[in-house]
Chain A
C-alpha cells in the first residue's frame, strides 16, 4: 500500500528526514514513535504533500502510484488521510460545509454524484454519532475555539466521513482524556479493513494497547533506527529513547540505519 524508499526532506533549508525506508501493507497498522523534534510530523506532512517541505531524495509509492507527484488534494482523493497533530482553526467556515465540500470533491474524483445538503446532513449526523462527537460542533467554524480533545475528535470525524485507505494519525491521542482515548481508538479500529492501513504517530503506549500495531518504528533524528513488534512500544515507554540511540550508535553516522520491515 505504502512504500517509502530513502526519503529525505528539508524545510527552510534544514534537513529533517534523512533517509526513511518504510513499507506498510494493506490491512496493517504501523506505529511511529520518537522523541520530540525527531521528524515524525514532518514525515506525516511530507506524505500529505505540505508545500513547505521539500523532498530532496527518495520515493514514495501509494497503491502503486508515485505519491510525490500528486498534489495534496489528489493524495486525499486517492485515499490518503492525515489526522493533524495541530488541526488549524478556520473562523467563518462551518465544519459541516467544509466536510461536505471535501466529501463531494472525493466523490467527484471517483466519478460519483455529489450529494446534496439534505443527504449529507443525514450522513454527517450518523457519522457524528459514530464518532461520539458533540453534534453542535458541526455547525460551528472549523476547530474555532474547539478544545484540544474536540479538535482530535473532529479529525476522527473527518476521517470517518472520508473513509480513506491510508490513515496517518499524528498524535491523535494527545490531549484526550481516558474515555475519549478509548472511544477514539474504537473509532480508528472500526475504520480498519483488510484493504486499508494505519500509520499512527504517538508518544504513548496507551493508545497502542487499543489500536494494536503490527510493527513499531523508532524515528530519531530523521531516521528509523529500530523497528520491532508491539513490545517495542512498551519498552520505549519504560526505558525512554536513550538506549535505542546507544544501541544504534555502532552504525557509522553516514550510513542510513536499516529500516524496519513489517
Chain B
C-alpha cells in the first residue's frame, strides 16, 4: 500500500517516525496514550463522509484531509521574532510561547520571582501558579499530568482530538494549586509562521492541560496567531479541570492565517461549586471548527460560554458546544454571536443535555448572527435534550441584517452610512468582549476584534 493510499496514511507514517526517533525518554504511560490515540485515529479516520455524519454535516473537511501536511522542519525556526504585537497590556504575565509547535524559551516569560521552569521543584510548588511545558511535566512525571492528560478529551471526542493526542509531546501545563489566586493573566501563545507556498503546508498539535485546584482562581488566554498567510493546519486540544470552588476564566483568541485550518477540541470538567467562564473569539482561519464540551459533574457548578466569530472572504467557522448537566443544581449560560460578511459561513450547534435527576438545572443559550452580505450564511441549531422536569432552560436564535431602525437613528444624528454600520457592528460584539473579566485580556481582545472589524 502506498503511503498516500488513504488520507490517514501519512499521519501513521509520521507517527511511527516520531515514536522511533525521540520517544524513548517519555514515560511508558504517555507512549501508550499516544499509541492508543493513533489506533483510534486510524480506526475512525477523518470525518469526511457527507452522509450520515451528523456532527460534520455543516463542515466539509475533505479539503483538509486531502492536503499533505508535514511536521514543521526542526531547523525551520523563525529566527528573531518580534512579539510586540502580541503583548498583553499589563506589567506581569505568565507567558508560554510556542512557535510552529516548538517551545520558544527566549520568548516565554514569567514574573521574576517565579523562578526556573525546568526543575522538579517548579512542578511541586504550592504557592503560585505552575505554568510550564507539558514535556517537562511529563519528564518529571508530574502526577496531575498522568492523572488528567488525555483522560477528558480522549479518543471519544473526535478523530482530530485523537490525532492531537497521538502526537502529544509538548504543550502547556497550567496548574493552580489549591487556594491560590493568580491575579496576572496566564498567556499561552501558539504562533504559526504560516509560510506561503512554495513552503510545504505544516501541521501542529497544540496541547493544553489546565488543572485548577480547590478554591483557586486564574485567567488563561490561549492565543493562536500567524505570521504569514500560508496554508497550515492547527489541531488543538485543551483539557480543563476545575476543582471544587475553582474560578477559572479561559479565553481563546483565534487569529490564524486566512488560509489556515483550525480544528480545536476542548473538554471542561467541573467539580462542585466551580465557576468557569469560556470566551472563544474567532477572527481568522479559512476553515475553523471548535468542539467545546463542558461536563458539569457536581452540584453548584456553573459555566458561562461566550463566543464571537467574524466571517469574511470564504471563511467557515463552526462552533459545536455541548453542555452536560450531569447532576442537579448546576447552571450554564451561553451566548454566541457571529458577524458574517462576504461569502462566509457561520455554524452554531449548541447541545445541552440535562440528564435524568439533574433537577434545578438552569440552562440558557442564545445564538445571534448578523449577516452583512447577501452571500453570507448562518446555520444555527439548538439541541436541547431534557430528561428532568424541574428545570429552567431557554434558548434563542436569530439570523438577520443590521436593524434599519437603528441605522436610521444613528444617521439622524449626522452619522454616515459606513460609520453607522460600524458602530452597530461594534455594539453587537460588545457583549461578548465585555464578558472577559480580566482588564488586560479584555483590552487586548477588544483591540484584536476592532482591528478585525476594520472600520471604527
- CB contacts under 8 Å to A, within B394-445, are 403-406, 408-417, 419-420, 423-424, 426-431
Contact, CB under 8 Å: B414 / A98: no
Contact, CB under 8 Å: B414 / A106: yes
CA distance A101 to B424 in the complex (A): 12
Contact, CB under 8 Å: B414 / A92: no
Contact, CB under 8 Å: B427 / A90: yes
Contact, CB under 8 Å: A162 / B426: no
8 contacts between A and B (CB under 8 A): A51-B404, A73-B417, A76-B414, A90-B427, A92-B428, A92-B429, A98-B423, A106-B414
- CB contacts under 8 Å to B, within A72-99, are 72-73, 75-77, 81-82, 84, 87-88, 90-93, 97-99
Interface size on A, as a range, is: 20 to 34
CA distance A132 to B409 in the complex (A): 23
Tell me which residues across on chain B come within 8 A of A71, comparing CB atoms: 411, 417
CA distance A82 to B410 in the complex (A): 11
Contact, CB under 8 Å: A90 / B406: yes
Chain A nearest CB from B387 CB (Å) reads 34
Which A-B residue pairs are the 6 nearest by beta carbons? Answer: A92-B427, A92-B430, A102-B413, A93-B427, A76-B414, A72-B411
Closest to A97 in B: B423
Tell me which residues across on chain A come within 8 A of B426, comparing CB atoms: 92-93
CA distance A92 to B410 in the complex (A): 14
Closest to B416 in A: A73
Is A50 in contact with chain B by the CB < 8 A criterion?
yes
Tell me which residues across on chain A come within 8 A of B410, comparing CB atoms: 90, 98, 101-102
Contact, CB under 8 Å: B405 / A76: no
Chain A nearest CB from B423 CB (Å) reads 6
Contact, CB under 8 Å: B427 / A72: no
Residue B431 contacts which of A49, A76, A91 (CB distance < 8 angstroms)?
A91
B interface residues, how many (CB within 8 angstroms):
24
Knowing A90-B427, A93-B423, A101-B423, the reply to whether A76 touches B413 (Cβ < 8 A) is yes
CA distance A52 to B410 in the complex (A): 15
Contact, CB under 8 Å: A88 / B419: no
Contact, CB under 8 Å: A76 / B423: no
Contact, CB under 8 Å: A158 / B431: no
Tell me which residues across on chain B come within 8 A of A63, comparing CB atoms: none
Knowing A90-B424, A93-B424, A97-B423, the reply to whether A162 touches B414 (Cβ < 8 A) is yes
Contact, CB under 8 Å: B414 / A102: yes
CA distance A109 to B411 in the complex (A): 13
Chain A nearest CB from B417 CB (Å) reads 7
Chain B nearest CB from A68 CB (Å) reads 15
Closest to A86 in B: B405
CA distance A72 to B416 in the complex (A): 9
CA distance A97 to B410 in the complex (A): 11
Contact, CB under 8 Å: B419 / A101: yes
CA distance A259 to B65 in the complex (A): 75
CA distance A49 to B415 in the complex (A): 13
Is A105 in contact with chain B by the CB < 8 A criterion?
yes
Chain B nearest CB from A86 CB (Å) reads 9
CA distance A76 to B409 in the complex (A): 11
Is A141 in contact with chain B by the CB < 8 A criterion?
yes
Closest to B433 in A: A92
Is A16 in contact with chain B by the CB < 8 A criterion?
no
Chain B nearest CB from A160 CB (Å) reads 13
Contact, CB under 8 Å: B427 / A102: no
Most A CB contacts (10 A, CB to CB) among B413, B416, B424 go to: B413
Contact, CB under 8 Å: A73 / B414: yes
- CB contacts under 8 Å to B, within A132-170, are 141-142, 158, 162
CA distance A66 to B251 in the complex (A): 53
Contact, CB under 8 Å: A88 / B406: yes
CA distance A48 to B430 in the complex (A): 29
Contact, CB under 8 Å: A82 / B414: no
Tell me which residues across on chain B come within 8 A of A141, comparing CB atoms: 427, 430
Tell me which residues across on chain B come within 8 A of A73, comparing CB atoms: 411-412, 414-417, 420
Tell me which residues across on chain A come within 8 A of B420, comparing CB atoms: 73
Chain A nearest CB from B335 CB (Å) reads 12
Chain B nearest CB from A154 CB (Å) reads 11
Contact, CB under 8 Å: B412 / A93: no
